[in-house]
Structure 1
Amino acid sequence: MKTNPYSRLPASAYWRQAVANVPPNEIDPMVEPPFRISPRDKIVTAGSCFAQHIGRHLAKSGCDYLVTEKLHPFLTGGAARALNYGVYSARYGNVYTSRQLLQLFDRAYDRFTPKENCWREGTGVVIDPFRPQIQEGGFNSVRELDLDRATHFAAVREAFETLDVFIFTLGLTEAWRSREDGAVFPLCPGVAGGEYTAAAHEFVNFGVEEVVADMTGFLERLRGVNPDARVILTVSPVPLVATAERRHVMVSTMASKSILRVACDMLERRCDQVAYFPSYEIVAGAYCGVDYFGPDRRSVTPEGVAHVMRVFERRFIKRGLVEEALRRTVKALAPTGSGPTDAVADAMKLMCDEEALEFLALRTESASPKADIPSSSRSGEGDGE
Structure 2
Amino acid sequence: MKVLGSTEALATYKANPYSGWPNRDELDDRLAHFTLPAVKPKFKLEAHDRVFTIGSCFARNIENALVETGRTIAGRDLWLNSGLVDRNNPSSILNNFAVSSIENELDWAFGEARFNVEEHCYQYANGKWQDLHIPQAIKASRLDLLEQRRDLIHKTYRLLESSSFIIITLGLVEAWFDKKAQKYLNLTPPKEAIRQHPKRFELHVQSVDFIRQTLFRIVSKLKAICPEGHKILITVSPIPLTASFTDRDVIVANAYSKAALRVAAEELYQEHTHIDYFPSFESITHTDRSVAYLNDQVHVNTDLIGANVRHMMSLYSEAVNLETFEQLRQALHALPPQERLVQLGKFLVKNPDHTGAILTCVEVATTNRKLMRLAEKYIAKLPAKLNLREAISLSNSYLRLNTPERVIELLSSITFGKNKSAIYAIGRAFNQTGQFSKAVDVLERSPHSGAGPRALIAMELAKALRHLGRNKEAREQMEIAKELRPADKKVKAAEQELFGFFAKTSRFYEKAVMRPKAKS
Q: Per the shorter chain, which TM-score range?
A: 0.7 to 0.9
Specify whether residues 219 and 330 from structure 1 end up closer, same or farther in structure 2 by C-alpha distance, changes over 3 A only: farther
Secondary structure in 2 aligned to 1:12? coil
Q: Which residue of 1 aligns with 2:11?
A: 5
Alpha carbons 2:121, 2:132 under 8 Å: kept:
yes
The 5-angstrom pairing of residues 224-235 of structure 1 reads 224-226=224-226, 227-235=228-236
Counterpart position of 1:302: 302
Alignment of 1:27-42 (within 5 A): 27-42=35-50
Q: 4+ runs of 1 displaced by more than 4 Å?
A: 17-21, 71-75, 326-335, 337-340
Deviation per CA, 1:136-162, whole angstroms, max 9, x where unpaired? 4x3322x4433432232122112x111
Counterpart AA for 1:14: G
* Displacement after TM superposition at 1:332 (Å): 9.9
SS of match in other structure, 1:81: coil
The answer for unaligned runs of 5 or more in structure 1 is: 341-385
Inter-CA distance 85–297: structure 2 relative to 1 (3 Å threshold): closer
**Structure 2 Cα separation of the partners of residues 211 and 19 of structure 1:** 40
Aligned to 1:367: none
Aligned counterparts, 1:253-264, within 5 A: 253-264=254-265
Determine the C-alpha separation between the residues in 2 that align with 1:131 and 1:80. Answer: 12
| TM alignment of 1:143-158, pairs within 5 A | 143-158=144-159
**CA separation of 1:248 and 1:334: change in aligned 2, threshold 3 A:** same
Q: Distance in 2 between matches of 1:12 and 1:332?
A: 24
1:53 pairs with 2:54: no
CA deviation string 1:46-98 (max 9, x = no partner): 211222221001011012322256147584xxx752695244xxx42x20111
Alpha-carbon distance in 1 for matches of 2:55, 2:80: 24
Residue 13 of structure 1 aligns to a residue whose secondary structure is coil
**Equivalent residue number for residue 405 of structure 2:** none
Q: How many Å separate the matches in 2 of 1:29 and 1:43? A: 23
Match of 2:39, as an amino acid?
V
2 CA distance for matches of 1:281 and 1:314? 18
Q: In the aligned structure 1, how far is the partner of 2:303 from the partner of 2:89?
A: 25
Give the % identical residues: 21
- Residues 169 and 234 in structure 2, CA contact (< 8 A), matched pair in contact too: yes
Query: Which AA in structure 2 matches 1:317?
Result: S
The 2-side partners of 1:145 and 1:34 are apart by 40
Counterpart in the other structure of 1:81: 86
- TM-score normalised by L of structure 2: 0.55
| Residue deviations 1:218-258 (CA, integer Å, cap 9, x gap) | 11111101132211111111121111112111100111111
Aligned to 2:317: 317
Partner of 2:113: 112
The 2-side partners of 1:110 and 1:189 are apart by 25
**Runs (5+) with no aligned partner, structure 2:** 1-6, 322-327, 341-366, 371-520
Quote the Cα distance in structure 1 between the aligned partners of 2:216 and 2:210: 10
Determine if the alignment matches structure 1 residue 102 to structure 2 residue 103.
yes
Alpha carbons 1:40, 1:63 under 8 Å: kept: no
Aligned partner of 1:139 in structure 2 is: 141
Q: How far apart in 1 are the matches of 2:46 and 2:65?
A: 16
- Counting only pairs closer than 5 Å after superposition, residues 329-348 of structure 1 correspond to structure 2 as 330-331=335-336
The AA in structure 2 aligned to 1:119 is Y
How far 1:328 sits from its partner (Å)? Answer: 7.4
Aligned position for 1:43? 51
The residue that corresponds to 2:126 in the other structure is 123
Contact 1:240–1:253 (8 Å) recurs in 2: yes
2:246 matches 1:238: no
CA 1:19/1:205 → structure 2, altered by over 3 Å: closer, same or farther?
farther
The residue number in structure 2 matching 1:279 is: 280
Return closer, same or farther for 1:20/1:297 CA change in 2, 3 Å cut-off: farther
Matches of 1:259 and 1:234, distance apart in 2: 13
CA contact (8 A) 2:165 2:231 kept: yes
Secondary structure (helix, strand or coil) at the match of 2:232 reads: strand
The structure that is helix-richer by fraction is: 2
**In structure 2, what is the equivalent of residue 67 of structure 1?**
75
Amino acid at match of 2:64: R
How many angstroms apart in 2 are the aligned matches of 1:264 and 1:36? 19
- 3-state secondary structure, aligned to 1:64: coil
Larger relative contact order (Cα-Cα within 8 Å, sequence gap ≥ 6) = 1
Shift of 1:129: 1.2
The answer for the alignment partner of 1:362 in structure 2 is none
**1:206 maps onto 2:209 in alignment:** no
Contact 1:25–1:307 (CA<8 Å) still a contact in 2? no
Distance verdict in 2 for CA 1:81–1:172, change over 3 Å: same
Say whether the 8 Å CA contact 2:80–2:87 is kept in structure 1.
no
Displacement of 1:338: 11
Structure 1 residues 282 and 134, CA gap change in structure 2 (3 angstroms): same
Alignment equivalent of 1:16, drawn from 22, 30, 45: 22
Query: Who is 1:164 aligned against?
Result: 164
Q: CA deviation at 1:299?
A: 2.1
Q: Could you tell me whether the CA contact under 8 Å between 1:189 and 1:195 is conserved in 2?
A: yes
Q: Match of 2:125, SS?
A: coil
- Offset at residue 171 of structure 1 (A): 0.9
TM-score (norm 1): 0.73
CA contact (8 A) 1:84 1:134 kept: no
Taking the aligned partners of 1:7 and 1:84, their CA distance within structure 2 comes to 45
Root-mean-square deviation (Å): 3.5
* Segment of structure 1 superposing worse, 118-127 or 22-31: 22-31
CA contact (8 A) 2:96 2:134 kept: no
Q: Distance in 2 between matches of 1:68 and 1:25?
A: 33
Moved more, 127-136 or 56-65: 127-136
Stretch of structure 1 that moved more, 66-75 or 275-284: 66-75
Relative to structure 1, the CA distance from residue 289 to residue 156 in structure 2 (aligned partners, 3 Å threshold; closer, same or farther) is closer
Instruction: Please tell me the residue identity of whatever aligns with 1:177.
Output: F
> What is the DSSP-based 3-state SS (H/G/I as helix, E as strand, rest coil) of the residue aligned with 1:241?
coil
Is the 8 Å Cα contact of residues 97 and 170 (structure 1) preserved in structure 2?
yes
The letter for the 2-side match of 1:237 is P
